[in-house]
Amino acid sequence: MVKESSVPEVVILRLPLYIRALSQMSAEGKTVISSKSLGSRLQITPAQIRKDLSYFGRFGKQGRGYTVDSLIETLTNILGLDRRWNSCVVGVGRLGKAIINYPGFVPEGFKIISAFDNDVNKIGQSVNDIKILPMNMIRSTVEKHDIKIAILAVPATSAQNVITELVDTDIKAILNYAPIAPKVPPTLILRNIDPVLSLQSMTYYLQ
């Protein structure tokens, strides 16, 4: 296995796409696929797929392709998706509640076990059997339940302060829905999700 630092981030970002496409192909009854057929489904060149996979070893056989289920298992292990990752939601407004109620996280290995908010009217209530806790309980709760991932669903005006607070906990990764570009230390993994930016990038092609 290559060192993590030697793998370009863009390659890591594509691995989940490969797993999703391969899983769909497996469900369709395909047992062996080529880089060409996988690339065609994802609109990625076969050469790029082969290069991406080469960072992690040798896969498949020339002229025969990849064994679908075996490649799924290998990529799942590479991404650490063969274990459960405890997560929490910070900010329990409409978006936070939707995230907590979303059923798609658990099958993929992500378990939301805690939620936090600074609104006294929400603290003590439950969403999908998860009790909303005050912000001052983040550190102790994260340590108690070995939470490594925080999903941030707070207003943009609060996001940086909350992230600064999370930096002082055992949280190692943040999925940020707030429409800002927050500052984080290099030791913390940050992913931003902003549907408005995605829509704005699409309108270029619609003009």
Domains of the chain: 4-78 (1.10.10.10), 85-197 (3.40.50.720)
The alpha carbon torsion through 199, 154, 112, 176 (nearest 10 deg) reads 50
Report pLDDT for 107: 84
pLDDT beyond 90 at 5: no
Q: Which residue has the higher pLDDT, 156 or 57?
A: 156
> pLDDT, tens digit, for every residue of 16-70?
999 999 999 999 999 999 999 999 999 999 999 999 999 998 876 666 789 999 9
What is the structure's pLDDT at 140? 96
Determine contact, residues 117/92, Cβ cutoff 8 Å: yes
* pLDDT for position 1: 44
Which of 155, 159, 91 minimizes the C-alpha distance to 127? 91
Question: Average model confidence (pLDDT) for the chain?
Answer: 92
| pTM of the complete model | 0.87
Q: What is the spatial distance between Cα 204 and Cα 4, in angstroms, rounded to a whole number?
A: 35
- pLDDT band at 84; cut points 50, 70, 90: very high
CA 106 – CA 26 distance, rounded (Å): 20
CA–CA distances in Å: residue 25 to residues 32, 43, 118, 194: 9, 15, 45, 29
Asked whether residue 4 carries a pLDDT value surpassing 60, the answer given is: no
The contacts of residue 167 (CB under 8 Å, 6+ apart) are: 184, 185, 188
Q: Read off the pLDDT band of 3 (50, 70, 90).
A: very low
- Residue (of 172, 168, 175) closest to 187 by Cα position: 172
Q: Please give the pLDDT value at position 106.
A: 87
Look at strands 110-117 and 32-33 and give their pairing: unpaired
